[in-house]
Structure 1
């Protein structure tokens, strides 16, 4: 489990390094501290505030505009969603002993993959047109806060800088294969957690659990996603005839095997970078506030482009 965890985060760091390369050439070892501090933040802070902590640390270390750093994280999520959807679709369609209705679900997953790929391609090729489309859509949704819609549109403009890595065939290929590789390792970790508690299911079931869990933790929740992971394991394994008690046990093992190493490594890097534990939440919240009202950051990104 620890070896797979190492490979998972090494792949994440390698991919982030490639996403950042058109902006600033950094090594894997240079981006790792900020990345691990961010994931540590997600473990101890609510509502994914660790992502903004990650932005703060890398921006401070290498003087990269914060909005630009955040744009690479947005791209990370896009590629994560595509890779996870692929594994989820494969798991649902090919896993044995699943009711026929699940095959229909896999077709909807496949449709989601196609839509995501088309959306990313359109955003890359016709950035301003896509932004104008979203602006028109927002104008028909008056219940959305103006501050929120403004932030989304500005982030989409800034995100075009992060898309620069996709214009390089070498970087694009590297980003794609590392995205699939890291989630393959995570899926194997899920399978080992199930196997460790004598839950005998197809390895494809692990990819179903992976997909459901990965989407479950996207929603801002408690620090470390405790409770959310347990629910996702139970819901996804129910279709394979696994009892809630067994699913709960495996989910705890899977979660803690990642929670403690990631948190400890993140705290180590946090201490090394001079970021005290008591300051972590404040800095993350400050970054969120700055990005919400950060006209000056967006201007800096445009000028650097």
Structure 2
């Protein structure tokens, strides 16, 4: 992990990206493989026609809606962090934006680590505790999307929109749905148990007896500070609050998908606005659940393929579906937050390397994102401390 981060994107000049890690190469490989799968299912001339005919005026309000969704992510994160420290949303918003930029540029969702470490730079919160809150955040994103799919999928089936889907494909969707539900429900149950049942940590301490003595203190501290970040899971009322706080996040992002569907004329293929809303709910759920597994870089590949296949199952042509999915992800979702993240880095006089230099004695920050020479990662040049910025 240390070599991967310090040798790839966390360099002094992030524009001179060095691809020296097998993890990075695997991420690139997964993205390229799935994009090739997508290309084999489209007619490039038809994709070009779809892009040429699209109404790009819808892009402006769509991007605005996405950043509203990011605002609600910061609101939800504030709630998750509240047992550790009550923070202003204005302090968290730039951390969320920069974290999403890093997620788009690093494989295996390592942007979550960047986000946790950057928060530890700005606030008196350990990076490992922040990482615990991000684990909860990811689980609730998954559960919210599953709820959307549970509403939209059966409704579209009853409306006859899946008539073109064969029995084998339908069975495959059902099996995948059961597996994904089991994964997220199991993860939530495990995190809740860690937060509320002391015996789990007693068992963990016993398991440390099998670890070499010199590693035990650091591992124990990492584990206990991570569990500190799970305090918000202490009651059913807080679980409900988290679920409700997740709804506006995806409502605004889903509305963005809805507007882009109008830009590509996908609304013409369905009989009513209500049906289109259900379609967008299902596409939002399936495409984002596909990127929840840490495989590719920025979700490129899994997002496009799953969004396209969902639309094909609903009767949309493969080329139009591919054009919509690619534009939605790469232009509307991926590019704006990256530009915003870079602007925030420039404003705070930081490089990607400087993001993760943590002033706190957090063993996770010091042990994982230390430079190879042992020093902490520092700002790009002398300038204002990023903690002084909102």
Displacement of 1:241 in angstroms is 1.4
Deviations 1:15-63 (A, max 9, x none): 1111111111110001112111111112223332221111121101113
Q: Aligned partners of 2:348 and 2:113: how far apart in 1?
A: 16
The answer to whether the Cα contact below 8 Å between 2:304 and 2:326 also exists between their aligned partners in 1 is: yes
Q: How many pairs are equivalent?
A: 279
TM normalised by structure 1 equals: 0.76
2:245 corresponds to: 178
- 1:162 maps to 229
2:254 paired with 1:187: yes
User: Deviations 1:77-127 (Å, cap 9, x if unpaired)?
Assistant: 111111111112212111132268479569837963765554454343325
RMSD: 3.6
Out of 334, 344, 348, the residue aligned to residue 259 of structure 1 is 334
CA distance in 2, matches of 1:230, 1:152: 38
Gaps of 5+ in 2: 1-61, 211-217, 371-390
1:247 lines up with 2:324 in the alignment = no
Whether 1:227 aligns to 2:301 is: yes
Map of 2:346 onto structure 1: 271
The aligned counterpart of 1:125 is 196
Is structure 2 residue 178 aligned with structure 1 residue 108? yes
- Structure showing greater radius of gyration is 2
Determine the structure 1 residue equivalent to 2:367: 290
5+ residue gaps, structure 1, are 140-150, 294-305
Task: Find the residue that maps to 1:87 and give its secondary structure.
Answer: helix
TM-score (norm. length: structure 2): 0.61
* SS of 2:265 mapped into structure 1: coil
Distance 1:87 1:155, change over 3 A: farther
Match of 1:148 in 2: none
Give 1:92-107 correspondences, 5 Å limit.
92-95=153-156, 96=159, 97-98=161-162, 101=170
CA distance in 1, matches of 2:259, 2:202: 43
Q: Give 1:288 deviation, angstroms.
A: 7.5
Note the C-alpha offset of 1:10: 0.8
Deviation sequence 1:204-249 (CA, Å, 0-9, x none): 1222212221122123344333333221211211210112211111
